[in-house]
Amino acid sequence: MLFDYNYRIIQKIENAHNGIIFDISLKDDNNFATCSQDKSIKTWRKSLNDKYLIDKVLNNIHDNDIHKIEYLKNDTIISGSKDMKIKIWNLINNEYKCTLVLNNNIPIYSLLYSPKENILISAGTLFTRIWDTSNLINPLISQIDVVCHGKNALQKLDDNRVVFGGRFEIKIISIKEKQVSKKIKSAFLVWAICVIENKQLFICGGVSNDLEIFSSINYENLGLIKNCHNGNLRGISLLNNGKIITGSEDKKTKIWKIII
């Protein structure tokens, strides 16, 4: 279901995929893409009557579940799958073609693209890798002993810092140094992180009913928002009005205004 900024349902899309939808990536206000357990990616475009319709369908493009997708530049899409592959898709003659395949050696749970540095970060259950997207011959730059447990637990703090959610621990990675620069204790296994840049903080959710808030300046724990849901938190996203939206295993979404 899609909501407007007054949080009214504006569109309900039935049977968008034939399996679990693992991720959604926004290109802009008029376009987004979805990926699924059904091994497909679908792109969606807003029509003249303000309804989102299927634009393009990429079927059976991986050998297993597609866990994560991201728009890179223009219409380029990158996908990460349980089949241990990262694929880059370019729009050529109005059709998406795979132009690059990266073998990651472990299932991919999360991806993060940093366009300024031409850096792609892939995270899985054993390690995290950093790739140079401008180098098609030797793209792998570094491998770091960092495990990311959630599809939404890998986020940028700024042009040089990335925050990872882990098992009772959060790690900060320096993109320039290609290594862990800070470790922070967490009260639970972190599945999702939301960065609020103008408040200089980030919010974590996971195997807990609570949300945990940290300063992105000195990494101080600013406290918990208790009993946010009746189940574990799977997703947290920032809305354009500065509020956040959370999704939980209790099958509910909630809107929050963070006052710090």
CATH number, residue 179: 2.130.10.10
Eight-class DSSP state of 20: -
pLDDT score recorded for residue 247: 84
Placement of tokens 């109005």 in the chain: 94
Confidence of residue 64 (pLDDT cuts 50, 70, 90): very high
32 has which bridge partners?
Answer: 26, 44
Query: For 30, phi and psi rounded to 5 degrees?
Result: -110, -5
Cα–Cα distance, 70 to 112 (Å, whole number): 7
With 90 as the cut, is the pLDDT of residue 260 above it?
no
In order of 1, 191, 229, 234, 249, the CA distances from 253 in angstroms are 11, 16, 9, 10, 10
How many Cβ atoms are within 10 Å of 137's Cβ, its own excluded? 5
Q: What is the pLDDT of residues 194-250, one digit of tens each?
A: 999 888 999 999 999 999 999 999 999 998 889 989 988 888 888 776 788 888 888
Residue 25 resides in a domain: yes
Helix-strand-coil split of the chain, %, nearest 5: 0, 55, 40
Is residue 257 in some structural domain? no
> Residue 66: inside a domain, yes or no?
yes
Q: Which long-range contacts (CB under 8 A, 24 or more apart) does 172-179 make?
A: 172/219, 173/121, 173/128, 173/144, 173/146, 175/114, 175/117, 175/119, 175/130, 178/130, 178/141, 178/142, 178/144, 179/142, 179/144
pLDDT of residue 6: 56
pLDDT above 60: residue 1: no
Q: Flag whether 139 is in a domain.
A: yes
> Is the pLDDT reported for residue 118 higher than 80?
yes
Residues in the chain: 260
User: Residue 46: pLDDT band by 50, 70, 90 thresholds?
Assistant: confident
* Mean pLDDT of the region 32-48: 89
Closest by CA position to 171, among listed 147, 195, 194, 188: 147
pLDDT for 7 beyond 70 = no
Mean of pLDDT values over 127-156? 85
Inside any domain, residue 57: yes
Scored b (16 or more CB within 10 A) or e, 202-240 reads bbbbbbbbbbbbbebeebeeeebeeebbeebbbbbebee
Average pLDDT of the segment spanning 124-131: 87
Quick one: DSSP state of residue 117?
T
What is residue 19's predicted lDDT score, i.e. its pLDDT? 87
Task: Judge contact between 167 and 150, C-beta under 8 A.
Answer: no
- Flag whether 260 is in a domain: no
**pLDDT for res 163:** 93
pLDDT bucket at 162, cuts 50 / 70 / 90: very high
Identify the domain containing residue 8 by its residue range. Answer: 2-191
Q: Whole-model pTM?
A: 0.81
pLDDT > 90? residue 83:
yes
| Residue whose C-alpha is closest to residue 199's, from 173, 238, 235 | 238
Q: Which of 86-90, 137-141, 190-194, 217-221 has the weakest average pLDDT?
A: 137-141
CA 224 to CA 203: how far, in whole Å?
Answer: 9
Mean pLDDT of the chain: 86
pLDDT for the residue 9: 54
CB-CB contact of 136 with 118 (8 Å) = no
For residue 47, being part of any structural domain is answered with yes
Asked whether residue 180 is assigned to any structural domain, the reply reads yes
Q: Give the pLDDT of residue 11.
A: 54
Task: Domain count for the chain, please give it.
Answer: 1
Mean pLDDT, residues 87-93 taken together: 92
pLDDT at 22: 84
- Percentage above 90 pLDDT, the chain: 35
